[in-house]
Structure formats: structure tokens, C-alpha cells
Amino acid sequence: MGEEAIKNPNNSNRITNDQFLNWKRQKDADASARKAEVARKREEDIASGAVQMNGRELFLHEPWVFDNTLY
């Protein structure tokens, strides 16, 4: 069956360009939603003190730490 499908140009598994673009948009939207959920969860964990901030997060949340005029 595998060889037959390769040789047959009228393969029923082919998709149209529009079908592909719809699938790609849906996939990108799902990935974006997952990233947003992870970011929201990370913000909650930082606010509760459950995880340590990285340098960028520390700079964004507590910029006074990086103010050298205090020393």
C-alpha cells in the first residue's frame, strides 16, 4: 500500500493550501495560548515567592537593585 500511495498522484491524503494555512493558524494560536499560560503561571509563582526571579525579571520588578547611586 505504501508504494501505491507514492506512485498515485491522486493521493487522498493531500491537503489544499487553505487547509494547511488554517491548520498552521490554529497550531500557532495554540502555541501562543500555551506560552501565555506558562508566563501567567510564572508571574503568579514569582509573586508568591515560589520561584526565584532571573536577572531580567528582577530588573523589571525591582529596578532599584541595579541603581548604583545608592552605594
Kindly report, residue by residue over 22-64, the tens digit of the pLDDT: 999 999 999 999 999 999 999 999 989 899 999 999 998 888 8
Give, for 23, the enclosing helix (H) or strand (E).
helix 17-48
Q: What is the pLDDT of residue 12?
A: 73
Could you tell me if 63 and 70 are in contact, meaning their C-beta atoms sit under 8 angstroms apart? no
pLDDT band at 9 (very low <50, low <70, confident <90, very high): low
Which is more confidently placed, 14 or 34?
A: 34
